[in-house]
């Protein structure tokens, strides 16, 4: 008897640099999309099992999409840093 073919669910679409709102989560790792940069936070365990394989595939798909988007763009040597909206406040505990 032959084993039925496995069907793989399509990977979610993460369009790098397309917006400032999309977050892709893989395990405990978050990739926050932005028009000018992508922030990566957290940690990711890749156990040697099917879960680890699926997480690794998802991470690879997102990384490949980011690389493709960067390769397709006319990039400067270094992106200019934008001014922060943060401000210094007096320490209320001092």
What integer pLDDT is reported at residue 79 of this predicted model? 83
pLDDT of amino acid 57: 95
CA–CA gap between residue 90 and residue 79 (Å, rounded): 32
Contact 19, 35 (CB under 8 A): yes
Residue 89 pLDDT grade (very low, low, confident, very high; cuts 50, 70, 90):
confident
Please choose, from the candidates 45, 70, 59, 72, the residue with its C-alpha nearest in 3D space to the C-alpha of residue 11: 59
pLDDT at 3: 53
Q: Which pLDDT tens digit goes with each residue over 16-58?
A: 999 999 999 999 999 999 999 999 999 999 999 999 999 999 9
Whether this prediction's pTM lies above 0.75 is answered by no
Q: What pLDDT is attached to residue 92?
A: 85
* CA atoms within 13 A of residue 48's CA, in its CB half-sphere: 0
More confident residue, 45 or 9: 45
């Amino acid at each position: 008897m032959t084993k039925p073919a496995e069907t793989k669910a399509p990977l979610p679409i993460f369009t790098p640099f397309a917006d400032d709102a999309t977050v892709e989560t893989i395990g405990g790792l978050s990739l926050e999309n932005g028009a000018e940069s992508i922030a990566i936070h957290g940690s990711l365990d890749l156990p040697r099992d099917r879960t680890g394989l699926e997480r690794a595939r998802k991470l690879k798909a997102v990384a490949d999409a980011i690389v493709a988007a960067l390769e397709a763009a006319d990039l400067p040597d270094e992106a200019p840093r934008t001014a922060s909206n943060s401000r210094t406040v007096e320490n209320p505990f001092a």
